[in-house]
Structure 1
Amino acid sequence: MRSRTLKTELKIVVSSIILGGILGEAAPIYADAPVLEEIIVTGQKREQNLRDISATVNVISGQQLDDLNIFTLEDLERVTAGVQFIQPNPRNNLISIRGVFYDPESGSASSVDIYQNGITQRADNLFGALYDVERVEILRGPQGALQGATSPAGAIMINTTKPDLDKTTGYVRGTAADDGTNLQGALSVPLIKETLALRVTVFSDANDQAGVVNIRTGVEQDSDTDSHRVSLRWAPTENLDMTLVHQTLEQELRGTPQVVGSRSGAGAFAGAPSIPCSFLPAAEQLLCVAFTAKDRAAFAAGDAVSNRDADITTLNLDWVLGENHRLAYSYGKTESGKLSRTENDISSNLGLQNFFFAAGLGVIGDTDYRTDQSTNTVVDADTHEIRIASQDNPTWNYMFGLYSQDQETSTDFRAFTTAARYIPLTSLNGAIPGVTFTGGHIEGINFATGGTIPVNGKTEALFTSHSFKLTEKTTLETALRYQEFTGFRSSDILFDSFHQPERISIQNASVLGLPSSVADSIAQGVLQGTLATISATNIQGVPTDAQNLETDATTGSLSLKYDFSDSLTTYIAYNRSYRNGGISVLPGETLPMSALLYDEESSEAYELGFRTIAFDGRLEVNTVAYLQDFDGYQGFVRGIEYINPQGQLDPLVGGLVFNGDASIKGVEMDWRMQATDVWRVGGTFSYNKAEFDNAAIPCNIRAPGQILGLCQSSGRLPGSTELQATLFSELMMPISGSSNIFIRGNMKYSNGILSTRPVSFGEDAGETESYILADFFVGWVNESFEISAFVKNLLDEDSDIDLRNAGDPNFDINGDFTEVLLLPERSAGITVNFQF
């Protein structure tokens, strides 16, 4: 079986490389037809033709974003293969390139960094508003040389539209669909012609997300986003050009994630007797029926919500010094906040507790269990980068630069947790001197924890790159980066209150031979007093000797490019990346330090690429085969259970970062073609194998004596998908003058995504279903006006794209309910765009 897999991979690699070579040498045709426009990118800190770069870069122009109604980073996934942007709930934003998955809640350094105008940004600040953009560049593979961070999987570069120094321009654009509205507008005015210009842009979006309704609360998922951007461009001389940009964001996301599954009975806690659903009143039996994906239903005890705000300021200066040098400076200031509430009781389990108590399983009327968590994260970051580079030298061009980023992050949290399960009091005999229990139970002690988690870090780096023209057809490029990082992280956790220490049912206790009624009362008081002493207890979540971190690393790249002809270029490249080690911060948990600490990660990647031009410049194909090996890959897992100091099985609040060797390998292709004067077509393809290499992964299978389970794995990385492809086509048919009727479509295929759930006894983590996401547009356009009708998710796919955890393991009445994230429902609408 293994040999067949290897043969399949080799066939895909060889076929892709051969196809690239054949297309590059194809005979020219359609000599009189229009050719493809050249694409200029700046992802390597200088303006370059995409065809001259020895790296994998996908470019999505601002026009493409407008043509396909792409308003968010999540929408961007529709037009590129091997890249995932997922928002599983109002709090989280997840990103993956080449199967390397990143969850910001892990607290580790990002595997994929996002930049706007050259400055790194948190995904929270940009995920929900992508507008007035000149282009988006997706850099794949390790970014260990020239970018602000040495991310191992890639980088997303967003370049906003600059003010026009020569003339007044702008647009007004509105989209209305059955699942939401989007309004955008921009005005660019030259204040001093050819010298000073101002551009103002506004963005407002409201949508229903996946259309999920919480039947317990009646709240429907939705998102409201408002953003504006002011750009000032000043070019006092021909050689000096600078742009100052300020952008604000306010976003509110509401709605509890969807669940699928069923329950046949209701029980208070693990170990307690259950009540058949048929015993419940009719109004509550709804919570016992089966829910499928098509129901798009949630029924959590409460709703999740996230309020985000951000102020982003960037300054970019470009100064040409003489004939052969250029000085560039970039500055960024970001202040952002995110206030979120998450509900962990995903199936209204505790909403049924009155019926448990009425059946003698608890104290009637005491129903204030809470399982929610609230956080408030504030970030303040300052970034500086300065570089000087040569230009237009015939044999050797170079760059030297300095980089500095100082970031302070503070998270205040308050979490309510049900710590104890349904425990017979007889199991406590011997724990309290003089007290013996012959019956009764304790259940569901509910307590609150709170605290502040500061995470501060400063990165300083120097970097250099060099390009040598060895021969007319051969170019050698090298880059080197040295960085130092100093960081601080702490977590002081306060057990600030117990909410149900009275939920204790005692029957016939024995206390020093006293009468039963007296003994029961004494035993009740002893237990309550014991629990109450824990209240207001402080726990140091991060030991003092682990709070400070100092690291240094050297990364870089090396590539060799050879031009076989004007239509065929090949390159081979080596890249190295690095991520700091750290510690997992878990509110209120008592895991040993060895389980919380994780080591640094490094990776080395190799690429073989071909760039081909065929049919007299009407077809362009870029193909790459790659291999990347990770030493200490930093994975992240949620939903882990462990054995607490009392010997009980408890769930971890949050998740664990862990290290394990891994490798990724695959093939990628992107292509575009001007098939005829009126028809253009293009697409992307990605085949990727991302696998562990005999790594020890935290799981829920524990050997005797183990506090935390570890499972050996050489399987796929969680959150990864193997095969994705996109296809785009547009037919632009002239009707009179500058007027055209167009038909365009975009389609994406994705096979299953591996679940992010931990492995448990008798369970397979599983993967999601494959899907085809198709969008269709038809409309009329001239030089200044466009109107179009569209259908998104034409096939009404409802595939799950991220298998999550089923909830708090303390509550077994969740039955087989599992949290899912479905593609948004099919929607139809109209877009009107006026440009001037």
Structure 2
Amino acid sequence: MISVATMPVGALICRRANQSTTMGGILVVSCSFRRFAFVVLAAGASTLAFSAQAFAQSADEADVADEIVVTATRQAQSLQDVPMSINVASGETLQKLNLFDIKDVQLLSPGLDLTNTGGRNNTATLRGIAFDPDQGTSPAVDIYFNEISVDAQTAFTAMYDLEQIEVLRGPQGALRGRTAPAGAITIRTRRPDLSEVNGYMQGTVTDRDAVNFQAGVSIPLVQDRLALRAAMLIDRNDLNQIDNVSRGASSRSTTESARLSLAYAPTDTFKAVITYQYLFAENDQFQQVVGAGNQPSLLDPARSGPPAEVADRIGVAEGPMNFRNRSHMVTLDANWDLGAHTLQLLAGHQDTLLRQRADQDFGNAIPGYVNLQDVRTPYKVDTAELRFASADRSFWNYSASLYYSKQTGDVTVTQDANQFFANDVPPTPFPASFGAFLPVEASILAPTYQRTFAIAASSSFQFTDELRFELAGRYSFLKTRQESFLTLTSPGFPGAGIPPFVQGPFNTVDPAIGTQKHDVLTGGANLTYEFSRDVTAYLSYGRSYRGPTAAVGSTAPLDTSLLLTRPEHSDAIEAGVKSAFLDRHLTLNLSAFWQKFDGYISRARGIYYSTERDGVVDGVFDFNFNGDAEVKGVEATLAGRWDAFDFSASASYVDAKFDHAMAPCNDFNGDGVPDADGAASVPVGEQVATCERNDRIAEQPKFSLTANAEYRFEIGDYEPFLRGLFTYRPGFSSTVANYDYRSRETLNLYVGLRGPDRRWEISAFAKNVLNQQRITSIGQGNYQTATVVPGIAFDSGYRLISSTTPREFGLTAQFNF
């Protein structure tokens, strides 16, 4: 959550400092692991099993859609009765489709993007509403692990032994801890079985060196009173399948985790489940590049790398790209049945340490030079909620709750912030191999403090058998404190007459804007009418909020308006119909929505600025900004379930765009349209260029579709099957990236055999059968490293991209008892 624009130091740093020194907020999708803890937690998981079922529920257990149960409203309800657009995937579905990473959930939910483009910055985008973790606000899509809010930086990793994942669409926060404008993702782990021993194990291997083994077992310790569940995971894969030609290495991921859950029910009216999860993973994720490459300096014959197309799948950074994540997570869910009421306590503790050691010269713009950045990001989060609710009253049901959450942790960053010299005659900058740069090291300490206290209440009125009205509100007291203490050190450059120096530490955040306190009311209401057992309609309203954020790490004398955002408010309306046909074997759910943002908080990356407003570029910074925005769209899900066949198809059309928002931009030719062609410049009289934006908020198409199906038949006691998963995203044109994205059609196919009573299953699969390798994100222009001379830069000749991974074949074996 730190972005640093180092201001000049000494004669050469004080001006013309174009070097970008982005730091912090590191998402570490990588992790590492202590094997002793792993063995202890996984010891009980030696005899395990798998239960293969259809989407959200097996066809032979329940062939009607209304038996899909969700907890979107904090109570168990039929999916068809919830006045909300929801996508549901059971743990069995995720296993059947060999979806081993949380980011793969997007394959089951159209309009949802779960991305990690460079080894950090895990992001969740839904209904066209994007989010950048470095902007320092709460997320647009909140993520809950056993009803405890967690950040995407730690949640996006391999998944195992899950009961269900629900994607809730639209503003959230009335019924759960934090407010989120676009939606929420709830992840629920499997719980111990108090009555019988059961379990599963599953192993998968692929032709791209991927290995996934997971298992879980539930053991009653005291019949119907005390039970234990142990689960474990070992996962190895090649991530984005990139070969680094400069290092002779490839992207690689290792994740190992174990989970222990204890269920305790001393009486028929009280039950508690406590879960502990340990995860340690490590990723070496290299940045992919495309382009012709370049000889960045005419004085040095070294090239940034060879020409590269998307299918070449290469990286060129000469330094490491290593990301680690060590996480401890504890959750508690205790329920006490008081007869006419229930009392629930939810509590959680998260202790996560994210580490990054990465070369920031992603495109090898300076051959022979490694620009290392080391970041240590701890997350220490404590959460608790006490909820009191009525139980099954005929007319009026209600609830009240108290919520508290606090996050602390001192982020530390160390990075080279060297200033590069250049000849006066372009384009011949001195290469770093000549030693023609002023060595500068920037170190930063950024203490994190975020606290939320909230009071919430809800009421539900059943006016008639058909008509129900629900109202919920949450009053939140928010406090954030943002600081960053920066120190610059250098041995100097005697040849240029620059002596050694140490500057700092000094707080780069003005205390007047670094501490923010806000009280805010959010919530929603919905009206539901059940025309018949098979047709239900609803109309809902939701209001969301995200607090302001101050820029952390800016050492430049920039206007406060560029460093502090306003709060964000949004109001949304949704109307929907949920229906069932053919004796409820077929369901069709439709919804339409509209959402208006007042001051939507977004982020513009890599923006050049001029502190003196003289048109001369002084540095690069990532700016947060407010802009009005509007979102509207429709969503539909058609699902069917029979003895031999089931399917689900969902589609989403969303038009999410800015509404005359004035945003910081790079506009080198001064036409008011974002571009990064030619020499960097800023309009005279301004500190940054601004462009009016009426384009899409997120880098995703308006339409998307996903479908999955399975056909099975019986041969004696055995059951052969064929299943498939298909997603479609049309191409679109991006104004910000100045790129026309191509359409993407992803097809995964599976064929296999189940044994008697579904005790085991063996399947072969192919992912990305069409072998499409399409760009999913791309930088605005060629990656460059600036020099202290305006208009002269080291140009790598590459654009930084992410792309879909190539075709992959694999085998999976599952066993359950």
For Structure 1 versus Structure 2, the TM-score category normalised by the shorter chain is 0.7 to 0.9
Deviations 1:345-386 (A, max 9, x none): 12322216xxxxxxxxxxxxxxxx542222100111110101
Equivalence map 1:567-716=2 (5 Å): 567-586=534-553, 588-645=555-612, 648-653=616-621, 655-674=622-641, 676-701=642-667, 702-716=682-696
Moved more, 255-264 or 745-754: 745-754
- How much has 1:471 moved relative to structure 2? 1.7
CA–CA distance in structure 2, aligned partners of residues 184 and 466 of structure 1: 42
Q: Is 2:322 aligned against 1:305?
A: yes
Question: Relative to 1, partners in 2 of residues 1:792 and 1:315: Cα closer, same or farther, differing over 3 Å?
Answer: same
Q: Is 2:152 aligned against 1:119?
A: no
Q: Of the candidates 718, 725, 739, which is equivalent to residue 766 of structure 1?
A: 739
Corresponding residue for residue 216 of structure 1: 246
Moved more, 41-50 or 687-696: 41-50
- How much has 1:657 moved relative to structure 2? 1.4
Equivalence map 1:336-355=2 (5 Å): 336-351=352-367
Which of these two proteins has the greater Rg computed from alpha carbons? 1
Equivalence map 1:146-295=2 (5 Å): 146-179=175-208, 180-267=210-297, 274=298, 280=301, 284=302, 287=304, 289-295=306-312
Corresponding residue for residue 717 of structure 1: 697
**Is the CA contact (8 Å cut-off) linking 1:449 and 1:587 kept in structure 2?**
no
Corresponding residue for residue 512 of structure 1: none
**Is the CA contact (8 Å cut-off) linking 1:120 and 1:148 kept in structure 2?**
yes
Moved more, 39-48 or 682-691: 39-48
- How much has 1:809 moved relative to structure 2? 4.5
Deviations 1:438-490 (A, max 9, x none): xxx99543311002111201100011111111122111111011000112110
Question: Relative to 1, partners in 2 of residues 1:222 and 1:651: Cα closer, same or farther, differing over 3 Å?
Answer: farther
**Is the CA contact (8 Å cut-off) linking 1:101 and 1:720 kept in structure 2?**
no
Question: Relative to 1, partners in 2 of residues 1:442 and 1:165: Cα closer, same or farther, differing over 3 Å?
Answer: closer
Corresponding residue for residue 462 of structure 2: 469
Question: Relative to 1, partners in 2 of residues 1:821 and 1:687: Cα closer, same or farther, differing over 3 Å?
Answer: same
- How much has 1:816 moved relative to structure 2? 4.0
- How much has 1:107 moved relative to structure 2? 1.6
CA–CA distance in structure 2, aligned partners of residues 319 and 129 of structure 1: 33
Corresponding residue for residue 123 of structure 2: 94
CA–CA distance in structure 2, aligned partners of residues 629 and 542 of structure 1: 31
What letter matches 2:249 in structure 1? V
Question: Relative to 1, partners in 2 of residues 1:406 and 1:265: Cα closer, same or farther, differing over 3 Å?
Answer: closer
**Is the CA contact (8 Å cut-off) linking 1:171 and 1:185 kept in structure 2?**
yes
- How much has 1:815 moved relative to structure 2? 4.7
The TM-score with structure 1 as length reference comes to: 0.84
CA–CA distance in structure 1, aligned partners of residues 226 and 462 of structure 2: 38
Q: Is 2:328 aligned against 1:331?
A: no
- Residue 162 of structure 1 aligns to a residue whose secondary structure is coil
Higher percent of residues as helix? 1
What letter matches 2:738 in structure 1? A
CA–CA distance in structure 1, aligned partners of residues 148 and 274 of structure 2: 13
- How much has 1:497 moved relative to structure 2? 2.2
Corresponding residue for residue 785 of structure 1: 760
CA–CA distance in structure 2, aligned partners of residues 351 and 677 of structure 1: 62
**Is the CA contact (8 Å cut-off) linking 1:421 and 1:444 kept in structure 2?**
yes
CA–CA distance in structure 2, aligned partners of residues 121 and 112 of structure 1: 11
**Is the CA contact (8 Å cut-off) linking 2:66 and 2:79 kept in structure 1?**
no
Coordinate RMSD, CA, aligned: 2.1
What letter matches 1:610 in structure 2? V
Question: Relative to 1, partners in 2 of residues 1:396 and 1:260: Cα closer, same or farther, differing over 3 Å?
Answer: same
Corresponding residue for residue 451 of structure 2: 458
- How much has 1:136 moved relative to structure 2? 0.4
- Residue 720 of structure 2 aligns to a residue whose secondary structure is strand
Question: Relative to 1, partners in 2 of residues 1:731 and 1:497: Cα closer, same or farther, differing over 3 Å?
Answer: same
- How much has 1:549 moved relative to structure 2? 1.1
**Is the CA contact (8 Å cut-off) linking 2:238 and 2:250 kept in structure 1?**
yes
Deviations 1:669-694 (A, max 9, x none): 122102x4311111110111110000
How many residues are treated as equivalent by the alignment?
A: 725
Corresponding residue for residue 44 of structure 1: 73
Q: Of the candidates 812, 817, 826, which is equivalent to residue 807 of structure 2?
A: 826
Question: Relative to 1, partners in 2 of residues 1:185 and 1:573: Cα closer, same or farther, differing over 3 Å?
Answer: same
- How much has 1:787 moved relative to structure 2? 0.5
- How much has 1:667 moved relative to structure 2? 0.7
Moved more, 801-810 or 294-303: 801-810
Deviations 1:724-746 (A, max 9, x none): 10111100111112x20000000
- How much has 1:817 moved relative to structure 2? 1.1
CA–CA distance in structure 1, aligned partners of residues 764 and 237 of structure 2: 18
**Is the CA contact (8 Å cut-off) linking 2:572 and 2:593 kept in structure 1?**
yes
CA–CA distance in structure 1, aligned partners of residues 256 and 638 of structure 2: 35
- Residue 128 of structure 1 aligns to a residue whose secondary structure is coil
CA–CA distance in structure 2, aligned partners of residues 651 and 689 of structure 1: 34
Q: Of the candidates 779, 791, 796, which is equivalent to residue 804 of structure 1?
A: 779
Corresponding residue for residue 12 of structure 1: none
CA–CA distance in structure 1, aligned partners of residues 784 and 610 of structure 2: 15
- How much has 1:419 moved relative to structure 2? 3.1
- Residue 366 of structure 2 aligns to a residue whose secondary structure is helix
- How much has 1:46 moved relative to structure 2? 1.3
CA–CA distance in structure 1, aligned partners of residues 808 and 425 of structure 2: 56
Unaligned runs of 5+ in 2: 1-61, 427-433, 668-681, 788-792
Question: Relative to 1, partners in 2 of residues 1:808 and 1:491: Cα closer, same or farther, differing over 3 Å?
Answer: farther
Question: Relative to 1, partners in 2 of residues 1:754 and 1:383: Cα closer, same or farther, differing over 3 Å?
Answer: farther
**Is the CA contact (8 Å cut-off) linking 1:263 and 1:813 kept in structure 2?**
no
**Is the CA contact (8 Å cut-off) linking 2:110 and 2:705 kept in structure 1?**
yes
What letter matches 1:230 in structure 2? L
- How much has 1:56 moved relative to structure 2? 1.4
Corresponding residue for residue 731 of structure 1: 711
The TM-score with structure 2 as length reference comes to: 0.86
CA–CA distance in structure 2, aligned partners of residues 779 and 288 of structure 1: 44
Corresponding residue for residue 422 of structure 1: 422
What letter matches 1:774 in structure 2? L
- Residue 291 of structure 1 aligns to a residue whose secondary structure is coil
Deviations 1:219-265 (A, max 9, x none): 20111001110000001111111100000110101032100011454
CA–CA distance in structure 2, aligned partners of residues 166 and 263 of structure 1: 64
CA–CA distance in structure 1, aligned partners of residues 544 and 659 of structure 2: 18
CA–CA distance in structure 2, aligned partners of residues 564 and 172 of structure 1: 44
Unaligned runs of 5+ in 1: 1-32, 268-273, 353-368, 427-440, 505-523
CA–CA distance in structure 1, aligned partners of residues 731 and 343 of structure 2: 47
CA–CA distance in structure 1, aligned partners of residues 112 and 561 of structure 2: 33
Deviations 1:655-711 (A, max 9, x none): 22110000111111122102x431111111011111000001110123222111111
- How much has 1:163 moved relative to structure 2? 0.3
Question: Relative to 1, partners in 2 of residues 1:107 and 1:817: Cα closer, same or farther, differing over 3 Å?
Answer: same
**Is the CA contact (8 Å cut-off) linking 2:132 and 2:602 kept in structure 1?**
no
Q: Relative contact order: is structure 1 or structure 2 higher (C-alpha 8 Å, sep ≥ 6)?
A: 2
CA–CA distance in structure 1, aligned partners of residues 421 and 609 of structure 2: 14
- How much has 1:34 moved relative to structure 2? 4.5
**Is the CA contact (8 Å cut-off) linking 1:182 and 1:205 kept in structure 2?**
yes
- How much has 1:61 moved relative to structure 2? 0.8
Q: Of the candidates 465, 473, 483, which is equivalent to residue 476 of structure 2?
A: 483
Q: Is 2:101 aligned against 1:108?
A: no
- How much has 1:622 moved relative to structure 2? 1.1
What letter matches 1:599 in structure 2? R
What letter matches 1:314 in structure 2? T
Question: Relative to 1, partners in 2 of residues 1:686 and 1:421: Cα closer, same or farther, differing over 3 Å?
Answer: farther
- How much has 1:627 moved relative to structure 2? 0.4
CA–CA distance in structure 2, aligned partners of residues 639 and 784 of structure 1: 54
